Structure 1
Amino acid sequence: MILCCGEALIDMIPEATVSGGEGFVPHVGGAVFNTAVGLGRLGASVGLLSGISEDRFGAQLIARLEESHVATDAVVRLDRPTTMAFVNLSGGHATYDFYDEGTAGRMIAPENVAPIEGTVEALFFGGISLAVEPCADTYADVLAREGQSRAVMIDPNIRPGFIREEAVYRARLDKMLAQADVVKVSDEDLAWLMPDLADMDARAAQLLAQGPAFVIVTCGSDGARGYLHAGDPIVVPAEKAAVVDTVGAGDTFNSGVLAKLSELGALSKTAVRGLSAAQAEVAMAHGAKVAAVTVARAGANPPWASELG
């Protein structure tokens, strides 16, 4: 099983009202939640570790997990509100305003998290849950306790406007990235992480030097570049799609990569550390294929395996 560790929230997506004004419609979301849902729909064995509210929105999140075949055994239900992300769409590109103080997702603590079962072969971390305390410290603790014998993938999905103490965030994230086997970043994430380097390949090489075995950099419509410790960068083009919006695109890409690595038998820590360029390319191409379906429809709505043809 792949255990996705991080936030589950509600995306409030703008939509025209019958009166002609603009309203917001609640859609389930969150970077880590979306990746878990994507994996479940692709047929992978997956679970979610997250703090989820007992309110009506929490029930909406749990319902989506269950219908998408995501195990909820590790979910921690808390009597706190649900995190809200109000989405601004401009040319199909999404930006977010988060409302997160005192929420179930943010307030999950180490003592809430039970030991992870031995059936879990891989851990995935990411999103805004790595940016704010106490949940960020909780997930860092989970990684330190449980990541040494399991393959670990991290997508920091950096939202600079959400980070309150940049030095603290950078220090914690650097420590987590050093423990990861696979790191996926957008080109914007990578530039934020390494502003002193101008070249993408140089930035990726520096990230590899921190500890990961496989670094993926997504570049929107320009596709993705993959980096291993040996050989040239692996270039995978983006799949053509009629873009409705980009909500959940990177998260769905992650689910496609993880699902394919699992299918290839390449998701143990040893296997990831010995990943071939051919395996990496196949996994990245699958991620691109899955993400193309998501961007062609509104919101974070990952495809089922049967939709991929």
Structure 2
Amino acid sequence: MILCCGEALIDMIPAPVAGAVPMVDGADAQTGFVPHCGGAVFNTAIALGRLGQATGLFTGLSRDLFGQQLMSALDASHVDHALAEVSDQPTTLAFVHLKDGHAAYHFFDENSAGASLRPDRLPELPEQVKTLFFGGISLCNGAAAETYARLAARETGQRIIMIDPNVRAGFASDEAAYRRRLTAMVAGAGIVKVSDEDLHWIYPGDAPIEDKIRQVLAAEAGQGPGLVILTLGSKGAKGYLRSGPTVEVPAQAAEVADTVGAGDTFNAGFLAAASEAGVLADAASGAMDLEQLRACLGYGARAAAVTVSRPGANPPWRDELAG
């Protein structure tokens, strides 16, 4: 099983409202918000389940209406949420603003179910959990972020760990603590997926991106990540192995509806392909075969292309990528 560890929330997506009501200034209130299941780690779990992988989710879930919506979505995509901590705290809401197909977010997370996790309540993981995936806004703040960091530290060397920092600096209440947390988790992971923006924020300074990638690969005197994946949006992705070689794959052609969930789906595609090929451990150690790496990155790119072709985070099912 691949256990995804991080946020599950509701994206409030703007949508036209029929029968707009005139406002005081004479303008029409033409936009409302529709609740959609989301969160970077939740999206990755959903995509993995749809791609046929045994998948679980460790997060904080609410018993409220939105929490029930999240659990129903997990069930529909065959994602096990037995390890999630369920409480009466409210579900995190993220109001989304879309501009030219790109999303910006405004979060309501205070005292939420997701924020209620505590490091002294870490779950014992069943033996079938072989890989842990971390990322998203769940790593930003407070006790919940420390819970995920503590779990990653506890399982380092015991299970394969992948992290996608997916930096959201504007959401962090303490940027210095957030940066320290991410730096430590990146150093302890076997596989790291980043954008150039992520790297420049985690490792400030004017050094070229390639130098910062090599800095990640050299973490902990050779005991850090074996593979760094750099995603480049429409320019594809590159995989950097600690042993030195680099593999590049192009993005797949797609008519873009929006980019919501694209990176999350890429993560799931890579993990699914590497898991099925039995090479996740090789990736984490830096000993992955180059053609296997190319194939796994390519599968991630194919999966992401389906997601961007339709509105919202709606990852493909396995049979949509057949052939």
2:96 maps to 1:84: no
Amino acid at match of 1:50: T
2:307 maps to 1:298: no
Residue matched to 1:7:
7
2:168 maps to 1:159: yes
List alignment gaps of at least 5 residues for structure 2: 21-29
Cα distance change on mapping 1:197 and 1:279 into 2, 3 Å: farther
2:286 maps to 1:277: no
Task: Please give the per-residue CA displacement for 1:14-46, whole angstroms capped at 9, x wherever unaligned.
Answer: 111113500110000000000000000000011
CA distance in 2 between counterparts of 1:82 and 1:165 reads: 22
Residue matched to 1:145:
154
Residue matched to 1:241:
254
Residue matched to 1:175:
184
1:74 pairs with one of 64, 68, 83: 83
TM score, norm. by length of structure 2: 0.93
CA distance in 2 between counterparts of 1:77 and 1:132 reads: 19
Q: How many residues align?
A: 308
CA distance in 2 between counterparts of 1:272 and 1:40 reads: 22
Residue matched to 1:187:
196
Contact 1:197 1:203 in 2 (8 A): no
CA distance in 2 between counterparts of 1:163 and 1:287 reads: 29
Amino acid at match of 1:143: A
Contact 1:228 1:277 in 2 (8 A): no
Residue matched to 1:202:
211
Runs of 4+ in 1 over 3 A off after TM superposition: none
Task: Please give the per-residue CA displacement for 1:222-270, whole angstroms capped at 9, x wherever unaligned.
Answer: 11111012334211111011111111110000000000110110123x5
Residue matched to 1:39:
48
Amino acid at match of 1:122: T
1:253 pairs with one of 250, 260, 266: 266
SS at 1:263's partner residue?
Answer: helix
Contact 2:258 2:310 in 1 (8 A): yes
List alignment gaps of at least 5 residues for structure 1: none
2:221 maps to 1:212: no
Contact 1:124 1:152 in 2 (8 A): yes
CA distance in 2 between counterparts of 1:272 and 1:171 reads: 22
Contact 2:225 2:242 in 1 (8 A): no
CA distance in 1 between counterparts of 2:284 and 2:278 reads: 9
Cα distance change on mapping 1:86 and 1:127 into 2, 3 Å: same
TM score, norm. by length of structure 1: 0.97
CA distance in 1 between counterparts of 2:311 and 2:183 reads: 34
- Give the deviation of 1:192 after TM superposition: 1.5
